[in-house]
Amino acid sequence: MKLNYRQKLTLGFCIIFAFFAIGIIVIQQSQVKNYKTEALEEKLDAYADIASNYIRRSVNEEEINFDSLLTLLPAKLRLTWIEKSGQVRYDNIMHATHQLENHAERPEVREAETKGKGIDIRKSASNQVEYLYYAKNYNSYFIRVALPYDIQTKAFLKPDNAFLYYILLLFLIGLVFINYVARYFGRTIEELRDFSVAITNHSLEGVFPTFSNDELGEIGEKIIRDYQGLKEKESKIALEREKLLQHIQSSAEGICFFTPARKVTFYNGLFLQFVNTILGIPPANISEILDNSDLAGVKSFLDNPGNNNYFETMLTKKEKSLVLSVNLFEDKSFEIIINEGNPTHK
């Protein structure tokens, strides 16, 4: 399906605006998610610090009892105390810590070993619950805290859609505006097209469109003025041509015009009489005169005129002396003039 100017303009602007809007949405959603993730990490970091401070303030490890501490922390929080070797010392979900495998290769623990802290989202091998894990390195041990990666946690990390709705609303408003602009400019383009088609089909009938008051409208008005000027010149040329043809028809000379391909374009009645005299019979085609043997000199001149643009010869037919002259024009078209009498050039 062929799109018109307005549809192409609208589609082009929509594609550009859509890419721009999608880019903004992707960047904004990513930034919001990163911001919320960092906010959650700060909370988990604070919980880990609370647990670490509790360990450091204890007189000895035998007195450490995280149960009282857990009452101050979120109910769903999972707290794990891991030695440097990876051995689990405490886990509030899995009390039988001796049954837990070594945690040194857990992704969040490995990251905390190198970067000081680490985070990971995965399903626990111990109880098959998906958690968001956060581990922090305290030199001699690791504290790992985790929240179930459930609907509540996912909703917290999910970016707010308010900005998305705002962008979609802006997109719709922009689409309406773009369509208005496209229609505004497209109307002038369509008027120019219709004007051009009317000229081609000769259906203008003197009715000219009124263009908009802008640059495109100025172009349209100029085209109309140029067209009117051209039509006036054509009328003058047609009038002059009519005068010339009337003069040729009433001329005392036989005149015929030929194209560069030696096809006849116009001749008067006297020329036809002279051709009849030269050929001896009425010709089926006026251009047959060029094939007559008496006009071999004319044909030779037309084949190789050199620097000359005029040729003249004399024929005698039926006791008539005919002077035949050829005027060669710049575009290689030519005219043949036949007179009775003596040659004008000697």
Copy the structure tokens of residue 287. 């251009």
Q: Any idea what DSSP says for residue 206? A: T
Strands, sheet with 141-148, edge to edge from the N-terminal-most edge strand: 88-91, 78-83, 141-148, 130-137, 117-123
The pTM is what?
A: 0.42
- Domain spanning 5-157: which CATH class is it, in words? alpha beta
Q: Which residues of the chain have pLDDT under 50?
A: 346
Distance CA 341, CA 322 (A): 6
Could you say which DSSP state residue 71 is in? T
- Give me the amino acid identity at 251: S
Q: What is the CATH number of domain 251-340?
A: 3.30.450.20
For the chain, give every domain's residue range.
5-157, 185-244, 251-340
pLDDT, residue 346, reads: 46
The pLDDT of residue 157 is 58
Instruction: Please indicate whether the domains covering 5-157 and 251-340 agree at the CATH topology level.
Output: yes
- Determine the pLDDT at residue 101: 84
pLDDT the model gives residue 344: 54
